[in-house]
């Protein structure tokens, strides 16, 4: 997990509502002792609460903010009361207790609007918007940021405008619009540098650094994070320091500098625990788990993930839960706990769909567009009361004339009213006709776009079906198999149209070669690998004239590693295949084989004899310098030799949704050993479909049986 969101909270420092000068804690405590019960004393209490927020002393924040509120209520000092609610809200926000934070922020906002404090209202809107952002409520978040920006812009408050730019950028980042996000961060940085706000500049550098990290420019990411850390150390902001160490650790993690990454994460973890920031604490634990997993400390990594999961559930952070579920899935795969990996992958996919559905992204984009246009309108609509005209007393002699005038005016009024209604009806009919025409045009456009999509889908599907024909042509053909095998079956069931599993055969002077293989991946990527591996096997036999199974696999592995070394991945060509390669000498009833991860089974006298493979793939591996082992097995008449990939055994299904497992597959083969090979194939096929039921097939399936 590399995404650190601690910087989402840092902007709060830019928007302090208080108009009083904030001094250090010692001088404020001394001032408090000398003060009387007046508004200055309330301001001093609020300043103390704010200073203790930056120090992470939550008990002191509650104490002095509560005193400020109580004394402010006695004096009816509403600005002081609002500030006390604001301080408590900030404290709860840092602890990721968003319910309490919102409760106090809305109380603060209500008072600020009552007393007409527009600057205070803007600050509170920003605070509420950040809480919604941390809760992944993007639409609500950007709505409140818009309200704050309009107020700041009208008042010419550059620090407040910069804070709003930061906040809008954070939402854009959640929507993956990084180009626009960098533009807003740079606007915020420029404003903060103009007014000399160190804390604001630090926030901007933090945000820009995180963005460069996401874009892969690690040098600029580290440069900006270091600038930010230097400023936070100067002003003694523990929250900012913790976030910077976490960001620096993530850059080192991406660079695979695990010791440096862990050292910075530990510093961040200590600061996060000290200030009680559950959100930052959870994300740093997730990153520490990532480092531990890369170091091979899988149990330690699991402990860190468990604590992070508990914190994210506590604070209700959906974005954090998405990352944690993904980390659990990856860790489970490393521990070879594939059932848990499957379950966590489903949780991760569901959470990801919840966070990034198309409707939310569309609505947020529309609101951002609204922000761009509405912020240009700076005019205030002023309503002035008009002075009502005084009525003059009508002269008794003009009564008749006035009555006649009123009558004529009424007739004229009704005539104008009827004419106006007629014109409005005409315009309405015209607009309705235009709208109907527009709707019809839009419908035609939608139908046309649907046709284009259907056509593209058909082109892609046709291309894959054509690729299937090419792959089928390269598999061992039926003529070759029937000429060399007296009785056999092949159960070949790809997960998708094309497959990563394949079977290959070739004749040599020493016998008949038969290979059953499972390439990395399935579908189109797996099919590409199968074609590549088939070509290398052909090259080994036809070009290099190799006949020994182990030598053929050694040669094929060297070709795979060489050709995939520059595939663009971090590991550098770790793709390959698991397989079993058999050479049959039917005349002398002997079988020579070499196997990579996939076993070879022989059914004899209602028993399965298992011949183990080398525990390494045909591809890049820690043991790729070791040659494959070759084994020779004496065969008996009526033996059935089985070669297989892991797709059947790994399939989830049954009543409890578990894997089929190799043990059950052996039992199935033994129970059907009295049947002909064609009947065994049908039994295997029906058993697989019944086990899978309504669940998706998770991998390609290939099982070959050869009777001696």
**Coil, strand, or helix at residue 494?**
coil
In a domain, 427, yes or no: yes
CA distance 334 to 651: 19
> How many Å apart are CA 418 and CA 406, to the nearest integer?
18
561 and 639 share one domain? yes
What's the rounded Cα separation, in Å, for the pair 658 and 419?
78
SS3 of 513-577: EEEEEEECCCHHHHHHHHHHHHHHHHHHHHHCCCCCHHHHHHHHHHHHHHHCCCCCCCCCCCCEE
The rounded distance, in Å, linking the Cα atoms of 165 and 184 is 5
Q: Angle 523-538/549-563 helices, nearest 10 degrees? A: 120
Is 466 inside any structural domain? Answer: no
Specify whether 443 is located in the same domain as 480: no
pLDDT above 50: residue 19 = no
* pLDDT above 90 for 572: no
CATH no. for residue 497? 3.60.40.10
Order of strands across the sheet that contains 640-644: 487-493, 701-707, 640-644, 600-603, 608-611
Domain count, the chain: 3
Band of pLDDT at residue 468, cut at 50, 70 and 90: confident
- Chosen domain end from 105, 127, 157: 105
Calculated CA dihedral for residues 278, 281, 285, 286, nearest 10 degrees: 70
Pair 412, 545 in one domain: no
Our CA dihedral for 408, 411, 416, 418, rounded to 10 degrees, sits at: 180
What confidence score (pLDDT) does residue 383 get? 37
The number of beta carbons lying within 10 Å of the beta carbon of residue 597 is: 19
Domain boundary among 74, 105, 136: 105
Q: Are residues 443 and 500 in the same domain?
A: no
Q: How far apart are CA 621 and CA 574, in angstroms?
A: 7
Q: What is the pLDDT of residues 516-537, one digit of tens each?
A: 999 988 888 888 999 999 999 9
* Together in a domain, 639 and 683: yes
Residues 577 and 687 in one domain: yes
* 611/481 same-domain check: yes
CA distance 579 to 501: 9
In a domain, 610, yes or no: yes
The 10s digit of each residue's pLDDT in 168-198 is 888 888 877 888 888 888 988 998 899 988 8
The pLDDT score that the predictor gives to residue 371 is 55
Both 492 and 634 in one domain: the answer is yes
Tokens of 545: 């004239």
In a domain, 387, yes or no: no
**Pairing state between β 487-493 and 701-707:** antiparallel
Taking residues 529-552, what's their average pLDDT?
A: 95
Spatial contact of 81 and 72, defined as CB atoms under 8 Å apart: yes
Q: Across the chain, what does the average pLDDT equal?
A: 85
Shared domain check, 546 and 441: no
Q: How far apart are CA 149 and CA 128, in angstroms?
A: 13
Query: Which of these three, 105, 136, 152, is where a domain ends?
Result: 105
Is 236 part of any domain?
no
Lowest mean pLDDT among 233-237, 346-350, 406-410, 469-473: 406-410
Residue 415 in any domain: the answer is yes
Percent of the chain with pLDDT over 90: 47
Same domain? 440 vs 521: no
Distance CA 93, CA 271 (A): 16
- Across 474-496, average pLDDT: 94
Q: Does position 363 have pLDDT exceeding 80, yes or no?
A: no
405 contacts: CB under 8 Å, gap ≥ 6: none
Q: How do residues 302-353 score in pLDDT, each as one tens digit?
A: 999 999 899 888 888 888 888 888 889 888 888 888 888 888 888 888 887 7
Higher pLDDT, 70 or 417: 70
Residue 688 lies in a domain: yes
| 443 plus 579 within the same structural domain | no
Q: Is the same domain home to 483 and 422?
A: no
Contacts (Cβ under 8 Å, ≥6 apart) of 150: 374, 375
Domain that holds residue 438: 404-447
Residue of 82, 429, 466, 7 lying closest to 241 (CA atoms): 7
- Strand stretches in 224-281, DSSP E: none
Whole-angstrom CA distances from 431 to 109, 328, 443, 695 are 43, 57, 18, 52
At residue 8, the pLDDT reads 36
Burial of 237 by CB count in 10 Å (0-12 exposed, 13-18 middle, 19+ buried)? buried
Find the range with the poorest average confidence among 240-249, 253-262, 469-478, 627-636: 469-478
| C-alpha closest to that of 128 among 109, 113, 151, 150 | 109
Residue 291 resides in a domain: no
């Amino acid at each position: 997990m590399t995404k650190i969101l601690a910087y989402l909270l840092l902007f709060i420092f830019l928007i302090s509502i208080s108009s009083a000068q904030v001094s250090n804690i010692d001088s404020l405590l001394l001032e408090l002792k000398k003060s009387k019960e007046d508004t200055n004393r309330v301001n001093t209490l609020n300043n103390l609460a704010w200073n203790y927020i930056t120090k992470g002393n939550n008990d002191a924040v509650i104490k002095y903010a509560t005193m400020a509120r109580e004394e402010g209520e006695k004096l009816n000092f509403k600005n002081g009361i609002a500030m006390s609610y604001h301080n408590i809200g900030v404290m709860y926000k840092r602890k990721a207790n968003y319910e309490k934070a919102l409760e106090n922020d809305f109380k603060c906002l209500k008072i600020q609007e009552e007393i007409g404090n527009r600057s205070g209202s803007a600050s509170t809107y920003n605070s509420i918007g950040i809480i919604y952002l941390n809760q992944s409520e993007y639409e609500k978040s950007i709505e409140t940021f818009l309200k704050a920006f309009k107020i700041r812009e009208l008042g010419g408050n550059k620090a407040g405008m910069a804070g709003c730019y930061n906040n809008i950028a954070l939402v854009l980042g959640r929507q993956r619009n990084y180009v626009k996000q960098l533009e807003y961060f740079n606007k915020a940085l420029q404003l903060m540098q103009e007014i000399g706000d160190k804390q604001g500049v630090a926030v901007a550098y933090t945000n820009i650094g995180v963005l460069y990290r996401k874009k892969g420019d690690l040098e600029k990411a580290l440069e900006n994070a270091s600038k930010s850390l230097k400023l936070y150390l100067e002003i003694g902001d523990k929250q900012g320091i913790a976030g910077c160490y976490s960001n620096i650790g993530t850059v080192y993690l991406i660079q695979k500098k695990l010791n440096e990454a862990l050292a910075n994460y530990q510093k961040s973890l200590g600061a996060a625990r000290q200030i009680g920031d559950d959100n930052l604490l959870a994300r740093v634990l997730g990153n520490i788990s990532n480092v531990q997993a890369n170091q091979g400390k899988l149990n330690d990594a699991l402990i860190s993930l468990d604590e992070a999961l508990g914190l994210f559930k506590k604070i209700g952070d959906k974005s954090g839960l998405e990352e944690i579920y993904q980390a659990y899935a990856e860790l489970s795969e490393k521990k070879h706990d594939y059932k848990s990996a499957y379950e966590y992958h489903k949780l991760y996919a569901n959470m990801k769909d919840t966070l990034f559905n198309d409707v939310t992204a569309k609505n947020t984009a529309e609101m951002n567009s609204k922000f761009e246009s509405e912020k240009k309108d700076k005019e205030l609509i002023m309503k002035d009361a008009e002075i009502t005209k005084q009525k003059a007393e009508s002269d008794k002699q003009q009564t008749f004339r006035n009555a006649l005038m009123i009558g004529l005016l009424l007739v004229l009024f009704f005539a104008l009213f009827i004419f106006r209604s007629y014109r409005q009806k005409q315009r309405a009919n015209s607009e309705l006709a235009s709208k109907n025409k527009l709707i019809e045009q839009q419908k035609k456009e939608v139908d046309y776009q649907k046709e284009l999509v259907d056509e593209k889908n058909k082109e892609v599907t046709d291309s894959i079906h054509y690729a299937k024909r090419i792959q089928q042509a390269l598999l061992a053909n039926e003529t070759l198999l029937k000429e060399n095998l007296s009785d056999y079956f092949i159960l070949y069931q790809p997960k998708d149209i094309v497959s990563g599993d394949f079977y290959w055969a070739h004749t040599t002077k020493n016998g008949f070669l038969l290979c059953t293989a499972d390439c990395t991946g399935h579908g189109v990527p797996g099919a590409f690998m199968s074609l590549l591996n088939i070509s290398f096997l052909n090259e080994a036999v036809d070009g290099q004239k190799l006949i020994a199974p182990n030598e053929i696999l050694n040669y094929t592995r060297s070709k795979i590693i060489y050709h995939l070394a520059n595939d663009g991945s971090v590991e550098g060509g770790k793709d390959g295949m698991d397989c079993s390669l058999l050479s049959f000498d039917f005349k002398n009833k002997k079988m020579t084989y070499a196997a990579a991860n996939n076993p070879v089974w022989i059914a004899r006298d209602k028993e399965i004899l298992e011949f183990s493979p080398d525990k390494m793939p045909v591809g890049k591996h820690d043991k790729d310098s070791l040659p494959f082992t070759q084994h020779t097995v004496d065969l008996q008449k009526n033996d059935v030799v089985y070669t297989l990939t892991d797709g059947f055994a790994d399939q989830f299904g049954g009543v409890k949704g578990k894997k089929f497992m190799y043990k059950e597959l052996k039992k199935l083969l033994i129970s059907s050993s009295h049947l002909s090979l064609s009947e065994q194939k049908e039994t295997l096929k029906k058993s697989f479909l019944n086990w899978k039921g309504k669940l998706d097939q998770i991998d390609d399936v290939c099982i070959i049986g050869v009777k001696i």
